[in-house]
Amino acid sequence: MSDLSKPQTGMTLPQPFFTSPEMYNSEREKLFFRHWFCVGRASELTQPGSFILADVAGEQVICTLDDEGRLRGFYNNCRHRGTRLVTESSGEFSSCKIQCPYHRWTYSCRGDLVTAPRADEDPEFRVEEWPLQTVNIASWQGFLLVNLSEQPRPLVDVFSSFINRLDPWQTDSLLPVHTEVYELTTNWKLVLENFNECYHCSSIHPGLAQLSPPRSATNDFSDGLLLGGPMELAKESMTMTGRRCCDAIDTLSAEDCRRTYYYTLFPNLLLAMHPDFVLAWRLHPIAPDRTRIICQWLFPPDRIQLPEFDASGAIEFWEMTNRQDWDICQENFDGIRSRGYQSGPYMANEVVLKMLDQRILQALEIEPTPPR
């Protein structure tokens, strides 16, 4: 990286951090593959043999339950000649067996090679020497996370300072009632930045600003892997009418019922904690200029079963708000690609963005220059 592109403390990142293929490749290796990366909900794995195929910045990971119901993660490659084992986004392995479609090598859901056709013709071949390549996998608050490092720090240690923070919302039991997938022409960091400041809320989200005053934003966490905090609610919840879709979650305090909490679990999970539901966004970087976002509306299962339950107000409100954000993030990226772009100053209410930059630079092993 040239001196002209070195980041300066307290300033937005230089252009190559958003546009450079080399920078993106460095992020893949040093950031996405080494951190605990959210790939879905544990509730998607319903029984032994059920699976989802997860994408981690271009690497495919099979997430499944073995015959004893334990989480397992594997690279989606046969150990014979590398063929993809599955192509479906989700499904179920019959009899908990994973079979390669090419030469029919067959593995258990524990990853062991069970059979390889004509293996008995090679006296030196040992099935126990060719298990699937494993990926570290864990569940936190109902979310599935994977880590592609060979020896990552255990999730319970990495998350120790906030591991129970979401307990009042019972997030481990919430179920999705609606899912939207968005394909954006922008860099993933611009979506991350957009979520972590409400400096733009009055101009971009007039409807949101009426339900939650932008100046009410504060931070419970401004250091570490969990960032963010609450905003006050002017009405009951963040819906088209301002009314809740259902009764508030039983275990919330009266104070929590008057707020919406916005949290980022670095690097790719964004959460909006409402009195009656939780909204979760997962960022999946595809390229320097492409980001896939999977958004889920999560509600308590007992509320979903009620005849009067109606989530449409929350879905419509956040679908509108999402579109507003995605449009401005793409405009932001178009501007950054211009030869006229230069790093600009962060404002006083963008403290979390400075912390996000620090997290990114630390992961990339880049030292910022002091402010001028």
Q: Are 269 and 162 in contact (CB under 8 A)?
A: no
Q: What pLDDT, in 10s, does the model give residues 181-214?
A: 999 999 999 999 999 999 999 999 999 999 999 9
In this structure, the dihedral spanned by the alpha carbons of residues 154, 358, 13 and 354, taken in order and rounded to 10 degrees, is: 120
Residues with Cβ within 8 Å of 264's Cβ and at least 6 positions away in sequence, in order, are 192, 195, 196, 226, 227, 228, 270, 271, 352, 356
Query: What pLDDT shows up at residue 5?
Result: 66
* Sheet order of strands, 136-140 included: 37-41, 143-147, 136-140
Query: What pLDDT shows up at residue 4?
Result: 47
Query: What pLDDT shows up at residue 2?
Result: 46
* Sheet order of strands, 226-232 included: 175-184, 290-299, 278-287, 269-273, 259-265, 226-232
Phi, psi for 112 (deg, rounded to 5) = -75, 140
Find the DSSP H helices in 71-136. Answer: none
DSSP-based three-state secondary structure for 21: helix
Instruction: Give the residues of the chain that fall short of pLDDT 50.
Output: 1-4
Question: Which fold, 165-364?
Answer: Naphthalene 1,2-dioxygenase Alpha Subunit; Chain A, domain 1 (3.90.380)
Query: What pLDDT shows up at residue 372?
Result: 65
Query: What pLDDT shows up at residue 205?
Result: 97
Domain boundaries, the chain: 37-157, 165-364
For 37-157, CATH gives 2.102.10.10
Query: What pLDDT shows up at residue 222?
Result: 76
Q: What is the model's pTM?
A: 0.95
